[in-house]
Amino acid sequence: MNREETDIAALRQNYTRGGIDREDLLPDPIAQFRIWMEESVAAGLLEPNAMSLATVSADGLPSIRTVLLKGLDERGFRFFTNYRSQKGRDLAETGNAAVSFLWKELERQVNIQGRVRKISREESELYFRSRPYASQIGAWVSEVQSGEIPSRCYLEEREDLLRTQFPEDSVVPLPEFWGGYLLEPVSLEFWQGRESRLHDRLRYQKASDGLWKVARLSS
């Protein structure tokens, strides 16, 4: 091995911040998630609402990327993106997804599985109006997110054109190819790092009666 190369296998972190017991958790996993999110915000973490979103295509090919959580209520987790993107196509084909939040400074993860559907156009419009002008224009720039483009200049030229078409003092319309999704969870796992890799893993699973059952998982 080259001396300048990092020995990845030797990288190791011991987790010592504490643990979680079944009795520590609220009956409602959404309420429990909200507490952990608020604690990550209070800790000053960088973009604590960042989540890894995993989807799978109709032919079984998985893909993953980072998106931002932009809404949370009793129904589930909301995020916004280009409907023509790879994730948009995957969700149209299968309707299933998983997301993972990593708050490494707190030695915590939350892993969520569920069904995903588009939210109403009215909800998407409301969020779009709250975005900064540059972000509204940015949504228009990539009509097919993840699609191949000839150069960086292509994006910059489109941005200039759209800024002329939709001046800053005008109302930028919501693109028909852009909007929100709601992930309705069926499983949420709360993970707290522990010493010796004997991590605490407590999973909420939605039963057929709609109630949440909690089980401890082996590390």
Distance CA 55, CA 68 (A): 15
Q: Is 45 marked as binding a ligand?
A: no
Residue 158 lies in a domain: no
Residue 141 lies in a domain: no
Burial class (CB in 10 A: 0-12, 13-18, 19+), 154: exposed
Residue 146 lies in a domain: no
Residue 159 lies in a domain: no
Distance CA 30, CA 71 (A): 12
Per-residue tokens: 141: 């720039």
Average pLDDT, the chain: 94
* Number of domains within the chain: 1
Residue 2 pLDDT greater than 70, yes or no: no
Residue 164 lies in a domain: no
Q: Is 68 marked as binding a ligand?
A: yes
Contacts of 166 (CB under 8 A, 6+ apart): 136, 137, 140, 172, 173
- Return the half-sphere exposure (C-beta side, CA atoms, 13 A cut-off) of residue 123: 14
Per-residue tokens: 157: 């030229």
Residue 156 lies in a domain: no
Per-residue model confidence (pLDDT) at position 59: 94
Q: Look-up: residue for tokens 């409602």?
A: 28
Q: Is 69 marked as binding a ligand?
A: yes
Per-residue tokens: 13: 């972190």
Residue 191 pLDDT greater than 90, yes or no: yes
Q: Is 109 marked as binding a ligand?
A: yes
pLDDT in tens, 192-216: 999 888 899 999 999 999 999 999 9
CATH code of 188's domain: 2.30.110.10
Highest mean pLDDT (candidates 5-14, 141-150, 172-181): 172-181
Closest CA to 88 of 146, 45, 132: 146
Residue 72 lies in a domain: yes
Residue type, position 145, single letter: Q
Residue 190 lies in a domain: yes
Q: Is 81 marked as binding a ligand?
A: yes
pLDDT in tens, 53-75: 999 999 999 999 999 999 999 99
Per-residue tokens: 124: 């998407």
CA 177 vs. chain centroid, Å, equals 19
Residue numbers annotated as active site:
197
Residue 40 is part of which domain span?
17-128+179-217
Q: What does DSSP assign to residue 173?
A: P
